Amino acid sequence: MMHPNSSISDYLEQHFSNFEQALKDEIINEGDLVEFPADELLMDIGQEVEVIPLIVSGSVKVFREDEEDNEVFLYYLEPSEACAITLICSEVGGTSKIKAIPAEDTKAIVMPIEKMDIWMKKYNSWYLFVMTSYQYRFDELLKFVDSVTFRRMDDRLLDYLRKTAIANNSPIIKETQQSIAQELHSSREVVGRLLKKLEQKKVIAFSRNQIELLDFQP
């Protein structure tokens, strides 16, 4: 395990080893290693995108939000990843279309926004990283649309619990029924009823603010 005082260089070697050395050198010179506490807003909808974050530890929840502040969970960002939606916004000089909140204490290497276009033209490894991020998140969003449109709520709930457990690398999910309902755009009553069914099937064990996924496999 990497020492908590690891440098940007160490994190690049661990999570972005396929970057050209010249690109790594630029990231070391231009980037900052920033810590984001759990549950503290990292990016908000409408916020100007000023930096490109590369996640190196922890995890970040990404949401969409409507005009009435209803949130829908989209996906997790984990080490070795960057937010494709943020990359797109930065490329066109726009504002954020998502809300991002660390699910746990998280570290990221952040670089100035103006480097995005320069590196796309200059470094093949950066170009491939950005394109792969686009493709991966596009596939994730298609799965999200399919789940909302075609899948039953009990399937969506179980999928959410498994993704959260994997992101946290723990079978213990410390979420309230209300927060899960908000993220799945459902009601607390529906989520509570489905959790009881999952417990009866011995898929989970849950108490008021904690759920244990019994079939968890990291």
CATH number of the domain encompassing residue 77: 2.60.120.10
Shared-domain flag, residues 134 and 34? yes
**Does residue 138 share a domain with residue 43?**
yes
Q: Of the candidates 109, 124, 149, which is a domain's last residue?
A: 149
Across the beta sheet with 106-112, what order do the strands follow?
32-36, 106-112, 51-57
In a domain, 91, yes or no: yes
Whether residue 1 lies inside any domain: the answer is no
Same domain, 194 and 145: no
142 and 165 in a common domain:
no
Tell me: do 159 and 134 sit in the same domain. Answer: no
- For residues 184 and 124, membership in a common domain is answered with no
Global pTM?
0.70
Q: Which of 103, 122, 149 is the last residue of a domain?
A: 149
Radius of gyration of the chain (CA): 18
Domain count, the chain: 2
Q: Find, among 98, 104, 110, 122, the residue nearest to 51 by Cα.
A: 110
Are residues 99 and 38 part of one domain? yes
Q: Are residues 12 and 106 in the same domain?
A: yes
For residue 126, give the 3-state DSSP assignment: helix
- Tell whether 122 and 37 lie within a shared domain: yes
Q: What is the pLDDT of residue 184?
A: 86
Strand order in the sheet with 172-173: 172-173, 211-213, 204-206
One domain for residues 46 and 114 = yes
Of 128, 149, 170, the residue at which a domain comes to its end is 149
CA distances from 218 to 12, 94, 155 (A): 24, 37, 20
pLDDT computed for residue 63 by the predictor = 87
Q: Rounded to the nearest 10 degrees, what angle do helices 84-91 and 115-122 cross at?
A: 100
Q: Which residue carries 């979420």 as its tokens? A: 175
pLDDT tens, residue order, the chain (218 aa): 344 446 999 999 999 999 999 999 999 999 999 999 999 999 888 888 888 899 999 999 998 877 677 778 888 899 999 987 777 766 555 788 889 999 999 999 999 888 888 999 999 999 999 999 888 888 877 777 766 655 688 888 998 999 899 888 899 999 889 889 888 888 888 899 999 999 999 999 988 778 999 988 76
Burial class (CB in 10 A: 0-12, 13-18, 19+), 145: exposed
